[in-house]
Amino acid sequence: MSDLSIRRVAGALGAEIAGVDLSQELPEATIAAIRQALLDHQVIFFRDQQLTPAQQVAFGRRFGPLNIHPYVAGMADHPEVMEVIKEPGDRVNFGGGWHSDMSFLQTPAIGSILYAVETPDVGGDTLFASQAAAYDALSDGLKATLAGLTAIHSASREYAPTGHSAQKRQSMAIAEADGLVGEYEHPVVLVHPENGRKALYVNPAFTLKIAGWKTSESKPLLDYLFQHCRYEGFTCRFNWRPGSVAFWDNRSVWHFALNDYHGHRRHMRRVTVDPRPAVGRAANAA
């Protein structure tokens, strides 16, 4: 703990943490400090880590049970670990658009931990956007309009045969979502269960419409929110190199993997943290 240091990287969100080796079995006090940094900064970064898939799984499990993706096959020995790969000849990248991981599930993931195995010499950064900052910047009138609204989320577009993510089948084991997906309602304004901060919880990849509204009625409001939520003042940008780790809070953060490195290979590994089961009652949808 005495060596742990935290440095902010942007105004709205993001901090880099040094002085910790994530491959080790860390004491509870260090895990608590990392969790608090995640709550304070929404996305946290680590450099110069050396993680095997098993070590990444072990670190992720300190924060909750790990998700097994319904459409992307994990590693044979570690099904919780998704390998995110873009080969030099690929035109489409995985995660190439603003989104919040797993919002299409009935109980969405709370966080994602991405580890860089191989990175291009140039390009391949990831953008992050604070949806808490986006909510704070809304007018009181629009906040009142959004209060109590829910939205329908689904993987039906993104993992359909022509969807962006489904097009990665050549270099990643991705299944089409046709016939498998459901539609789930989540609050448009999510109150963070750990710090009480409000954040917008809609995203262009998985939010279909406002619940109880027609798609045509929903579109103007969602289009406005999507444009507002990516405002540069709410964002930070992370430049990857091998051994880098990013850990972000899906309850209040969008991210966007930039596709600006054609001809180069990029290999990442991701584990996704689910909420812990609620004691004595059903878990909330979000």
From CA 274, how far away is CA 272, in angstroms rounded? 7
Annotated catalytic residue 90: no
Annotated catalytic residue 270: yes
Q: Which helix (H) or strand (E) holds 282?
A: none
Strands 15-18 and 43-46: what pairing? parallel
pTM here is: 0.93
Catalytic residue, from 101, 186, 266, 274: name it: 101
Could you tell me which CATH class the domain 5-273 is placed in? alpha beta
Catalytic residue, from 99, 164, 266, 269: name it: 99
Identify the pLDDT of residue 284.
Answer: 40
pLDDT band at 71 (very low <50, low <70, confident <90, very high): confident
Over residues 155-166, the pLDDT tens digits come to 988 886 655 665
Catalytic residue, from 153, 186, 255, 269: name it: 255
Over residues 165-223, the pLDDT tens digits come to 655 556 667 666 555 678 999 999 999 999 999 999 999 999 999 999 999 999 999 99
The alpha carbon torsion through 23, 29, 31, 36 (nearest 10 deg) reads -150
For the chain, how many residues are written?
Answer: 286
Annotated catalytic residue 251: no
pLDDT at 282 over 90: no
What does pLDDT average to over the chain?
Answer: 92
Catalytic residue, from 164, 197, 251, 270: name it: 270
Place of tokens 């035109």: 91
Over residues 90-138, the pLDDT tens digits come to 999 999 999 999 999 999 999 999 999 999 999 999 999 999 999 999 9
